[in-house]
C-alpha cells in the first residue's frame, strides 16, 4: 500500500504504516519525532493514543494541556515488552499480577502498582505491531493517553484523531482502524486485593478468574523425574477427592537445571502408568526462571538446595517456598532423594515419598 504524507495545520504530518508490510524508515521517523519531544498519534488495538516522551518536560506539559490533565494526575506509561515493566518499572508485585502479565500483555490492560520509588505507576503493553516497533525503537518511557480532548469520545481511527486534534499534534501514524474500538481495562493493584478503575475490553470476570486460580509449582533439578511426579500426583489427588478445587489451582513443575523441552524419565512414565494409570508421555521439562517464581503462590522444593536456588534467584519468594519434606510424617531432615541414574527401586522409593507428602499437602490446600 502506498505511503501517505498529509500536511495539515501547524505543520502536522500524517503517515500510513501498513501493519502487514511495515516500512521501518517510517518507524524510525516516528521514533525520532517522539525522542525530539513531539506529540505523536499512535495506533493501538483499543483506541488511538497521544505519545509523548516521558523524560521530556516540555512534551509532557504540552500533553497535559491537550488532555486538560492536572499536574498531580500522572499518565500511564507504555512499553514494548512486559518483561521491561516487570524488571525496570514495577517493584515486586503479588503473584497473580505476574499471571495477569502473562495472560493479557501485550494487550488491552493497564496495571497500576508501585515503582521502586514507592510511587503509583500505571503501565500498559499495547498489542499493536506498529506501535510495538516504535516503542522498541524509543526504548524509553512513553506516555500514551487516548487521542481525544477531555470529555470527547475516544478515537478509533486516524481520521477521527485528525478531525478532533489535527492542529494540536505533530505527527499522526495511521495504521487503520483499531481492533476493539474500546479503551483498555484499568486495574489498581495497590488496593487489597485489587480494584477495577475502568472496565474496558477485558472484563472484571476475566481479572477475577486469574486472581482466584492460584499457581502451585514443584521444583527439582532436571524436571524430568521428581517434580513431574509431584505435579501429576497432586492433580490426580485433587480430581479424585477434591474436584471442587480443580478451578482453584494451576499445578506446574520446573527444574533448576532443566533442559527445556526434555521428556520425562522413562522410569517415571512407566511408574505413573502402573501405579496411577496416568499417561505423561507428552510432558516436557521447563527450566525454572524468575517469572515462574514471581507468579507462583506456593513453591515446593525436593531438596534444600533447590530452596536456596529459588531464594537466591528471587529473595522476595521467602514465605512462599516450602520443602516437600515438611509434609512427611517421619520428620526427615533431608529432601526427596534423586533417583536419576539409579535402580528402579530408587524410583519407587521417590514415588512413595512424594505421594505420602502430596496426600498430606492436598489436605493442607
55 contacts 140 by C-beta, under 8 angstroms: yes
Q: Please, what is the angle between helix 266-276 and helix 344-364, to 10°?
A: 60
Q: What is the rounded CA–CA span in Å between residue 64 and residue 350? A: 62
With the CA atoms of 231, 341, 270 and 289 taken in that order, what torsion angle do they form, in degrees rounded to the nearest 10? 30
Strand, helix or coil at 88?
Answer: helix
Residue 297 a catalytic site member:
no
Return d(Cα 85, Cα 153) in angstroms, integer.
Answer: 29
Number of H helices, E strands in the chain: 12, 14
Contact of 209 with 187, CB cutoff 8 Å:
no
Q: Which of 221, 230, 295, 303 is nearest to 262 (CA)?
A: 221
Q: Which of 86, 124, 220, 225 is catalytic?
A: 220
Candidates 145, 283, 128; CA nearest to 218 is 283
Nearest to 269 by CA among 214, 357, 167, 347: 347
- DSSP string for 251-265: EEEEETT--TTPBPP
Which cell numbers in the block locate residue 191?
488496593
Instruction: With beta carbons less than 8 A apart as the criterion, state whether 295 and 327 touch.
Output: no
Give the separation between CA 196 and CA 160, rounded to whole angstroms.
28
If 0-12 CB within 10 Å is exposed, 13-18 middle and 19+ buried, where does residue 71 land?
Answer: exposed
Instruction: Pick the catalytic residue from 18, 32, 297, 338.
Output: 338
Asked about 225 being catalytic, the answer comes back as no
CA separation (Å) from 187 to 81, 166, 200, 202?
18, 31, 10, 10
Residue with cell 489535527: 166
Active site residues: 220, 226, 338
Amino acid at each position: 500500500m502506498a505511503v501517505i504524507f498529509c500536511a495539515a495545520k501547524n505543520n502536522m504530518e500524517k503517515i500510513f504504516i501498513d501493519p502487514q508490510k511495515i516500512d521501518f524508515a517510517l518507524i524510525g521517523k516516528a521514533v525520532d519525532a517522539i525522542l525530539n519531544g513531539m506529540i505523536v498519534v499512535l495506533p493501538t488495538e483499543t483506541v488511538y493514543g497521544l505519545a509523548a516522551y516521558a523524560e521530556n518536560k516540555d512534551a509532557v506539559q504540552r500533553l497535559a494541556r491537550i488532555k486538560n490533565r492536572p499536574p498531580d494526575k500522572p499518565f500511564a506509561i507504555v512499553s514494548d515488552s512486559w518483561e521491561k515493566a516487570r524488571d525496570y518499572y514495577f517493584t515486586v508485585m503479588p503473584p497473580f499480577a505476574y499471571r495477569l502479565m502473562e495472560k493479557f500483555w501485550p494487550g488491552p490492560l493497564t496495571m497500576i502498582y508501585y515503582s521502586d520509588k514507592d510511587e503509583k505507576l500505571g503501565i500498559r503493553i499495547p498489542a499493536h505491531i506498529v506501535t510495538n516497533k516504535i516503542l522498541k525503537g524509543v526504548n524509553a518511557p512513553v506516555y500514551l493517553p487516548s487521542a481525544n480532548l477531555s470529555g470527547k469520545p475516544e478515537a478509533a481511527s486516524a481520521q477521527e484523531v485528525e478531525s478532533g486534534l489535527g492542529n494540536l499534534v505533530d505527527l499522526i501514524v495511521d495504521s487503520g482502524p483499531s481492533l476493539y474500538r474500546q479503551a483498555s481495562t484499568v486495574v489498581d493493584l495497590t488496593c487489597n486485593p485489587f480494584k477495577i478503575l475502568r472496565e474496558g475490553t477485558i472484563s472484571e470476570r476475566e481479572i477475577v478468574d486469574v486472581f482466584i486460580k492460584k499457581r502451585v509449582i514443584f521444583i527439582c533439578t532436571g524436571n524430568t523425574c521428581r517434580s513431574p511426579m509431584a505435579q501429576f500426583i497432586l492433580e490426580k489427588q485433587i480430581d479424585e477427592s477434591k474436584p471442587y478445587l480443580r478451578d482453584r489451582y494451576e499445578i506446574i513443575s520446573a527444574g533448576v537445571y532443566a533442559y527445556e523441552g526434555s521428556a520425562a524419565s522413562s522410569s517415571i512414565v512407566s511408574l505413573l502408568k502402573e501405579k496411577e494409570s496416568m499417561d505423561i508421555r507428552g510432558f516436557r521439562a521447563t527450566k525454572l526462571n524468575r517469572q515462574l517464581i514471581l507468579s507462583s503462590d506456593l513453591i515446593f522444593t525436593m531438596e534444600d538446595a533447590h530452596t536456596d536456588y529459588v531464594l537466591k534467584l528471587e529473595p522476595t519468594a521467602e514465605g512462599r517456598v516450602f520443602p516437600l519434606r515438611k509434609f512427611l510424617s517421619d520428620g526427615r531432615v533431608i529432601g526427596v532423594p534423586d533417583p536419576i541414574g539409579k535402580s528402579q527401586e530408587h524410583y519407587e522409593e521417590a514415588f512413595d515419598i512424594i505421594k505420602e507428602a502430596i496426600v498430606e499437602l492436598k489436605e493442607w490446600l
